[in-house]
Amino acid sequence: ASAFDAVPMAPTDPLFGLMAAYKADTFDKKVDLGVGAYRDDNAKPWILPVVKKADEINRNDPSLNHEYLPIAGLASLTSAAAKLVLGGDSSAIADKRVVSFQTISGTGAVHLGALFLAKFYPRPENQSVYVSNPTWANHHQIFQNVGLPIAQYPYFAKDICGLDWPGLTASLESAAPRSIILLHACAHNPTGVDPTQEQWKAIAEIMKRRQLFPFFDTAYQGFASGDLAKDAWAIQYFIQEGFELCIAQSFAKNFGLYGQRAGCFHFVAAPGAHAEDVAKRVSSQLAILTRSEISNPPIYGARIASTVLNDPALFKEWEADLCTMSGRIVAMRKALFDKLVELKTPGTWDHITNQIGMFSFTGLSEPQVQKLREEFHIYMTKNGRISMAGLNTRNVEYVASAFDQVVR
């Protein structure tokens, strides 16, 4: 007998199950709209030209070796990463109240933040971490794993395929003081719906008044709009407003470094006389947490991102690559929308072009999603989320016409 006879079978990860089903499908016009990774117009993974260059620079550098990184990671990456998300002229950086740790991509950054908050954030018994409904599914598991209770704030209004503004604000107004609020900095996953700048200001006002703690997850900076500053606007606004906060930053999508697992966690201490001291103490604890879990982070993706971020010419090329990716996605949104309008597909489809980033919540129902998979070999998650990166000039008409047929 095994000591583990009572271990229940866990469900397979829905997204990875979807990928396996797509792979096994032999139909030649099959379409993968599930994948959370950028694809070029040939439906192929895309190595950013600037990443290729940075890769070559690093591979040909005789001074480099495979030694361990420090616990906090590659300093040239973490400092550039902080500047990227907070702005080069950030007063928080100048005041030395920012602590930055390299992590196992964005997932590791959310986890390190969750672990740190579970251990050190003073939270009376009944306070929760509020995540948007819906959110990136992993948020639930990560916070639960460290013992933080989860609550949800309404986010998506099905009737308008847009932001549930009354629901969101009412929920923040009623959250217990000191609750932690997980916010997607831009390109909300899975809905593609972001607050406007005016709405962000109102969210900040409520959160300040109700003493709520912001934890930003930024996995799409530059990838969403093509404009790095615009996609970091909300975070920079909150810091300008004097919030103390956490940031989980991923370089998976905006550098196309998915499997290299490059990312950073940042803690920004509230401004004030003791801020630098708080930052130092937090840093010392993050070092212990990191040491016990991963010892030190992986080196190669970090070197590539650091090479690009610290070289003005390469940085410019990166910005152009970001525009290539975001521009293709915007073009696919428009192509899908135009085709649906042309077909006079029942319903309104403005949300396809209004939403931003990798994903779009189509509003398709679960039976419609099932039909798309069974009859048209088009794969997407059952909540009707599609990855815009899975569309290209060759398949967008096929997809639009399939959507048209399943909604009629």
Q: Which residues are catalytic?
A: 136, 217, 253
Alpha helices in 3-48 (DSSP H): 14-24
Q: The dihedral of CA 337, 339, 343, 345: what is its sign?
A: negative
Task: Please give the structure tokens belonging to residue 182.
Answer: 């997980």
Q: Binding pattern to ligand PLP, positions 157-176, x when CB under 6 A?
A: --------------------
Task: Tell how strand 262-268 and strand 98-104 pair up.
Answer: antiparallel
Q: What is the nearest approach in angstroms of ligand PLP to the Cβ of residue 192?
A: 11
**Which amino acid type is present at position 172?**
L
Site string for ligand PLP, 101-120 (x = CB under 6 A): ----xxx-------------
Q: How far apart are the C-alpha atoms of 242 and 77, rounded to whole Å? A: 25
The label of the residue with tokens 């708080």 reads 278
Q: Which is nearer to ligand PLP, 77 or 252 (CB)?
A: 252
CB of residue 74 to ligand PLP, shortest distance in Å: 16
Residue 31 or residue 110: which is nearer to ligand PLP going by CB?
110
Residue 98: CB minimum distance to ligand PLP, A: 20
In 10 A of CB 203, how many CB atoms? 22
Residue 233 in tokens: 């606007």
Give the closest residue to 351 by CA, choosing from 367, 339, 333, 335.
333
Query: In angstroms, what is the minimal distance from the CB of 109 to ligand PLP?
Result: 8
Our CB check for ligand PLP shows the closer of 219 and 268 to be 219
Q: What angle do CA 148, 108, 128 make, to 5 degrees?
A: 15
In the complex, what is the shortest distance from the CB of residue 218 to ligand PLP, in angstroms, rounded to a whole number? 8
Mention every residue, 6+ apart, whose C-beta is less than 8 A from residue 138: 107, 110
CB neighbourhood size of 173 (10 A): 11
Q: Between 106 and 195, whose beta carbon lies closer to ligand PLP? A: 106
Residue 217 binds to ligand PLP (criterion: CB under 6 A): yes
Residue 78 or 189: which CB sits closer to ligand PLP?
189
Q: Which is nearer to ligand PLP, 13 or 276 (CB)?
A: 13
DSSP character for 134?
Answer: S
Beta strands in 46-127 (DSSP E): 98-104
In the bound complex, what is the minimum distance in angstroms from residue 322's beta carbon to ligand PLP?
Answer: 16
Segment 321-380, which members bind ligand PLP (CB under 6 A)?
A: none
Contact by Cβ (8 Å): 354, 191: no
Residue from 92, 168, 252, 299 binding ligand PLP (CB under 6 A): 252
Residue 9 β-bridge partners = none
Task: Give Dmax over CA atoms of the chain in angstroms.
Answer: 64
Strand partners, 266: 100, 247
The one among 112, 131, 172, 219 contacting ligand PLP by CB under 6 A: 219
Tell me whether residue 184 or residue 373 sits nearer to ligand PLP (CB atom). 184
Closest approach of Cβ 259 to ligand PLP, in Å? 9
Instruction: Specify the DSSP class assigned to residue 8.
Output: P
Amino acid at 5: D
Task: Give the binding range for ligand PLP (CB under 6 A) out of 99-107, 285-293, 322-330, 334-342.
Answer: 99-107
Query: 189 or 345: whose CB is closer to ligand PLP?
Result: 189
Q: Give the residue, chosen from 46, 136, 243, 267, that forms a contact with ligand PLP under the rule CB under 6 A.
A: 136
Extract the tokens encoding 342: 């042309």
Residues of this chain, 20-59, that bind ligand PLP according to CB under 6 A: 36
Stretch that binds ligand PLP, among 54-62, 100-108, 336-344, 378-386 (CB under 6 A): 100-108
Size of the site for ligand PLP (CB under 6 A): 13
Angle subtended by helix axes 138-145 and 105-120, to nearest 10: 40
Contacts (CB under 6 A) with ligand PLP, residues 253-272: 258, 263
Least Å from the CB of residue 252 to ligand PLP = 4
Among 39, 184, 339, 351, binds ligand PLP (CB under 6 A): 184
Collapsing DSSP to helix, strand or coil, 395 comes out as coil
Residues in the chain: 408
| Interacting residues with ligand PLP (CB under 6 A) | 36, 105-107, 136, 184, 189, 217, 219, 250, 252, 258, 263
